Amino acid sequence: MKTIRTAAFVAASVLGLAGAANAQSKPCMADAARLCPDVEPGGGAQMACLKSHSDELSPECKKKVMQAKIKHEEQKQLEQQQQQHPQPPQ
């Protein structure tokens, strides 16, 4: 369940759906509208579409996608470490 929430957070962050309302904080929204107009947000489909058009993304969106990918990998590693070395209940 954590993985689903993490993936949803990453997707929302990358697509600029979380955070301030100005255009700078939503660098992938225009790319998603241009490259994936028929793909509904949510469930990872829009992110998959953007990734399939990685060579066509704006520089700002590419940067956001890369940051989100790094954050996702870090989260995945943290979850793996927690599974291997669970904390005793307090």
Nearest to 10 by CA among 60, 48, 54: 48
pLDDT at residue 7, rounded to an integer? 46
In a domain, 90, yes or no: no
* Structure confidence at residue 12 (pLDDT): 52
Domain assignment present for 73: yes
For the chain, the domain total comes to 1
Spatial separation of the C-alpha atoms in residues 90 and 78, rounded to whole Å = 20
Whole-model pTM over 0.75: no
Quick check: is 41 in a domain? yes
| Tokens encoding 1 | 């369940």
Q: Quote the domain boundaries for residue 61.
A: 2-84
Residue 51 lies in a domain: yes
Contact 22, 9 (CB under 8 A): no
For residue range 18-73, list pLDDT tens digits in order: 443 344 458 899 999 999 999 988 888 888 898 899 999 999 999 988 888 898 89
DSSP H or E segment with residue 10: helix 2-14
Average pLDDT of the segment spanning 64-85? 89
Amino acid at 9: F
Q: Is residue 89 part of a domain?
A: no
